[in-house]
A and B are shown apart, each in its own frame.
Chain A
């Protein structure tokens, strides 16, 4: 089943695309929109006809002023979407590591550990002598070395599952705010177009204040949630740190060429 986060990611990506289209539209049609806006304003206050070129120029300047801000917000939102996290991928890797399947890393390691027994090997009956004895000693030490892989593999898998769950819980708690950035861009463009149609002046400054307020709300929500989820991630981090830099097992390698095995 696809994670809620991936559904959210798809929605957020669509919102980013739509916001980008809206901003492109605004950019390409800035002069036309500024002219229509100015003419609608003049229709309501006819004496302003004398400053029509200045009205148009002022409207164009306002639109051009706000465009880089809008593009920056969309870019920021795309980065946020990229870094939303991918619980599906984390769970896929966790399951590959430690799933019940025999093909998982844990399944393969367990099988290998169990198979490395000199009593099961083709040479068990036919090979004798001191070299054979040395060989069997080496073989007897390998299962322990293989077994040492199980703890880190299981821990990594547990942590990946935990991070995946943490990401999902985070976005459920955030209730989709991640898509809000592009949505406020779309709302702003709609507000500008509404102002153009109504001839009330483009009013970008007021609309821009609205966008800043919306962004601050999102940032505040992120900060508030952040501390709630931090402890879980610290516990995950600690589990990995506890594994230490080296595994407890030791592989034994016989010398070969001039002294195999047991040389």
Chain B
């Protein structure tokens, strides 16, 4: 599917998608990543037979989920950036919008 510059769209709605959908989505993934038992020490699992192996597998599973979440965070950010770029495209066709452009560029840098 080839890219075609956006020519019709409400800039405020595009920015709302960025602010109310994709930024919170990324924050959710960050929060979930913080809940994983990746750093839970082995002694919490006890020395009862087999617990150490469970600890090792739990660590591996957590790390897999963690890296998947990191990919998701990148995807959410890319989607946010995509709508902001689209907003810039539209603004570029309008006059007297330098402040908006500067604001969006700042948001893209964040």
CB nearest neighbor in B for A138? B79
Nearest CB in chain B: distance from A48 CB, A: 49
Residue of B nearest to A236 (CB): B54
CB contacts under 8 Å to A, within B44-78, are 44-51, 53-54, 57-58, 60-62, 64-65, 68-69, 71-72, 74-75, 78
Do residues B46 and A83 form an inter-chain contact, with CB atoms below 8 A?
yes
Distance (whole angstroms) from the CB of B28 to the closest CB of chain A: 5
By a CB distance below 8 angstroms, the chain B residues around A85 are 43-48, 51
Residues on A with beta carbons closer than 8 Å to the beta carbon of B97: none
With both beta carbons as reference points, the residue of chain B lying nearest to A86 in the complex is identified as B44
Contacts of B17 in A (CB 8 A): 121-123
Interface size class, chain B: 35 or more
A residues 165-209 in Cβ contact with B at 8 Å = 166-167, 170
Whether A227 contacts B49 in the complex (CB less than 8 A), given A123-B14, A139-B79, A260-B85, comes out as: yes
Assuming A105-B32, A127-B9, is B64 touching A243 (CB within 8 A)? Answer: yes
Q: Given A96-B35, A116-B25, A251-B72: A83 and B47 within 8 A (CB)?
A: yes
Interface range, A side: 35 or more
A234 on interface, CB distance cutoff 8 Å: yes
Chain B neighbourhood of A249, CB < 8 A: 68
CA gap between A259 and B85 in the complex, in Å:
9
Chain B contact residues: helix, strand, loop or mixed: helix
Partner of A251, one of B60, B64, B75, B83: B75
In the complex, which of the residues B20, B36, B78 contacts A253, with contact meaning CB atoms closer than 8 Å?
B78
Inter-chain contact B31/A156, CB cutoff 8 Å: no
Interface residues of B in 2-36 (CB under 8 A from A): 2-10, 12-14, 16-17, 20-21, 25, 28-29, 31-32, 35-36
Given contacts A233-B53, A237-B54, contact A153 B65 (CB under 8 A): yes
Report if A58 contacts B (CB, 8 A).
no
- Chain B residues, CB < 8 A from A237: 50, 53-54, 57
Residues of B within 8 A of A104 (CB): 35
User: What is the CA–CA distance of A126 and B15 in the complex, to the nearest angstrom?
Assistant: 12
List the A side residues contacting B79 at CB < 8 Å: 135, 138-139, 142, 253-254, 261
When the two chains form the complex, which single residue of B10, B13, B35, B85 contacts A105, counting CB atoms closer than 8 Å? B35
Give the CA-CA distance A37 to B109 in the complex, in Å: 81
Cβ-based interface call for A241 (8 A): yes
Q: Does B1 contact A (CB under 8 A)?
A: yes
Main secondary structure of the interface of A (DSSP, over half): helix
* Residues of chain A with a CB closer than 8 A to B82's CB: 135, 138, 254, 256, 260-261
Which of A14-22, A63-71, A144-152 has 4 or more CB atoms under 8 Å from chain B? A144-152
Which B residues have a C-beta under 8 Å from some C-beta of A? 1-10, 12-14, 16-17, 20-21, 25, 28-29, 31-32, 35-37, 40, 42-51, 53-54, 57-58, 60-62, 64-65, 68-69, 71-72, 74-75, 78-79, 81-83, 85-86
Which are the 3 A-B pairs with shortest beta-carbon distances? A85-B46, A233-B50, A126-B10
What 4 new A-B contacts, CB under 8 Å, besides A122-B13, A129-B6, A132-B9? A90-B45, A130-B1, A156-B62, A261-B79
A residues neighboring B (CB under 8 Å): 80, 82-86, 89-90, 93, 96-97, 104-105, 108-109, 111-112, 115-116, 121-123, 125-132, 134-135, 137-139, 142, 145-146, 148-149, 152-153, 155-156, 159-160, 163, 166-167, 170, 226-227, 229-230, 232-234, 236-237, 240-241, 243-247, 249, 251-263
